[in-house]
Structure 1
């Protein structure tokens, strides 16, 4: 069942991708998510240009970044800081189960949305906050984006950059945001469960800093245990265990080997790739010898994989019982039959009937994918939502005239 959160209402006051992606996940799971956007242009993600891919020139009427973090929601345009707008937000929160935000403490206070004030609107509402660096401490009011707070400050780039490279690793758009968003959505569902059992509505916090630390928790733990900067790693293209490494094929593609139980799989693997000699070579058997002679073993495997194209290796390794995979491109992921079988892509059409796909939240219930849904137009549902709150058309007209709503 994809409607696990049916009848749950989420009021979201958030922009960009991190916290909005938590709202998208909750919407995928059945919640009614109302996105509050300001009256001066809405979520800046609507106009985000990534890699030179201008949404104004897209073949479909959709911004792929906006779709990822906002599909399935309803949008209302409100000037939160105006008196009428503040009253509308209060009415929204009064009828909500969750208030989801990435606003920092100081802006929330200026908008009259402190925890205490929100509790006055609705003592049962769960307050869920996503921040750059956490809700406490000297930098609680410092903004953050994932490339800074997750990748850089949390140590992710340091831990993942191969030894000897000139530049640290970088990330694609929303890499840490989407991980943080799904974590925050999980925290919200746990809080909903707790509220149903006890009546207490917890405050839920997640940060990009915490999410990055969780991503490289083994390196951080090892740094504490052994007094080192990170888990030892070799130069790019090398691995302590040559059977857990990447190898380039003749046509320039890559195969990732993950023979973690190497002694169990090594003999059959070597025979399968046409190198039975490696299975009986005393330099490489048992695993301790393979690790001790990693340079020689890696060189042998590099030469072997360079002799065939990827398509040939995929046939050769089709029945390999150990874990391995092709390094796939995003285009290939779009056409992966396993992706299709599990409905990991959501197919949507724009208002001209042109189809496009977006990735849905990575958790399903009862093997049922979420209902396909697009992101809302800016302020698309403003009047509908206000009518649901009990405002009449005269109230709505007065609010529009005052600039409190779109």
Structure 2
């Protein structure tokens, strides 16, 4: 029988002491590539277990926690107890990566700061995530997604002058920070493979979202072009018109970078004839947008998509989630994954943003119950059954046994 191909991070252990979205999402990415991710959470469970986005509850695990914590084992520990701290330090001694997004200063108070853990494990890659940075004037401010988006400057690159800026329709700062931390961990592990050195890696949400705007901010800092929103809802201040989302008679479509003469022919706007897109697209942005909007409102989305695409224009539909999930390209790509969860049933969630043809990412386990793997992880560290029972009795750790949950659920009328 052929041996299965090892996954990219098989054999690596990640201790995930993060909460909410950015940290857990980054750790989940590592688990998707095969790392043994041990989620260290309070004995009552991580905060995200009790705060579902959209109020989307589950049976035993709400959808927010479910979506950010697959491919992990849960170790429920009281970090306020000496026994709990000792367990985590033993775990760190066996780990390759330690990831936390505590408020600045908390890790040190818990004895889980970099200098303390490096003394236990010099080759450790220690990742500290924060809202604004480890120090500086905003060190103690709450690092929340909307607040970071607002500070990043990006909200004032779209929409109408005089109207409130519109935040992104996703938790953008959290997601970008998670991807940044994931990227940083892989780079630090590559450095360690070459040199044997562990190191401290710091990632903050404000820098992550700021550096994402590499092109836009360079247009401002190098090119000296200010942000200027017009009277029409152009989709970006640094892209020539017509560019944005337009209403049709039955919905919306997106249109970008159209040459004005050919566009005028398609939509029936004779004033576009002879206009140069690179000149007039900047100097007459509001006028071009308004005329395009008026023409597109006269017919259906499908009519205009057929006509614009046939003419080589860059146009596309504006989807809701129902449309996205059913899209044939999404289905072809296998963008969503489905698996069976012991308490939540059949689960369908976004899968993996990368493809490794020799070492594919997989879902090995769904999000765990609180302390579902406490006994298993402690056994890995050499604790006897009696020692684990004693820790459970004193409240230093907690566990939830899957068999007991399934039995309880089956007995519920």
TM-score normalised per structure 1: 0.87
Structure 2 portions without partners, runs of 5+: 399-413
How far 1:277 moved relative to its partner? 4.2
CA distance in 2 between counterparts of 1:161 and 1:343 reads 34
1:70-93 per-residue CA deviation (whole Å, 9 max, x = no partner) reads 111111101123111111101111
Distance 1:258 1:344 in 2: 25
**Residue 390 of structure 1 aligns to a residue in which SS?**
coil
Q: Aligned partners of 1:286 and 1:49: how far apart in 2?
A: 46
In 2, Cα distance between equivalents of 1:159 and 1:286: 20
Residue 143 of structure 2 corresponds to residue 147 of structure 1: no
Decide whether aligned partners of structure 1 residues 61 and 317 sit closer, same or farther in structure 2, where only a CA change above 3 A counts: farther
Q: Separation in 2 of the partners of 1:66 and 1:375?
A: 7
Q: How far apart are 1:294 and its partner, in Å?
A: 4.0
2:50 matched to which residue of 1?
47
| 237-246 or 30-39: bigger deviation | 237-246
Q: Tell me what 2:211 maps to.
A: 214
Contact 1:222 1:231 (8 Å CA) reproduced: no
- 8 Å CA contact 1:2–1:365 kept in 2: the answer is no
Unaligned runs of 5+ in 1: none
CA distance in 2, matches of 1:157, 1:380: 42
Distance 1:169 1:301, change over 3 A: closer
Q: 1:274 to 1:137 in 2, by over 3 A?
A: closer
Kindly state the Cα deviation for residue 197 of structure 1 after the two structures are TM-superposed.
0.7
Equivalent in 337, 350, 358 of residue 346 of structure 1: 337
Q: Could you tell me how far 1:368 is from its partner in structure 2?
A: 7.2
Instruction: Give runs of ≥4 in structure 1 deviating > 6 Å.
Output: none
Identify the residue that residue 255 of structure 1 maps to in structure 2: 253
The count of aligned residue pairs is 390
TM superposition score normalised by structure 2:
0.85
Q: 2: distance between equivalents of 1:233 and 1:15?
A: 37
The change in CA–CA distance for 1:370 and 1:62 in structure 2 (over 3 A counts) is farther
Quote how far apart the aligned CAs of 1:359 are: 1.7
CA contact 2:243–2:289 (8 Å) conserved in 1: no
Distance of aligned partners of 1:202 and 1:324 in 2 relative to their CA distance in 1, 3 Å threshold: farther
> Which residue does the alignment assign to 1:91?
90
Could you tell me whether the CA contact under 8 Å between 2:70 and 2:368 is conserved in 1? yes
Superposition RMSD on alpha carbons, in Å? 2.7
Q: Contact 1:343 / 1:369 at 8 angstroms: preserved in 2?
A: no
Deviates more, 1:117-126 or 1:212-221: 212-221
Assess, with a 3 A threshold, how the Cα gap between structure 1 residues 27 and 367 changes in structure 2: closer, same or farther. same
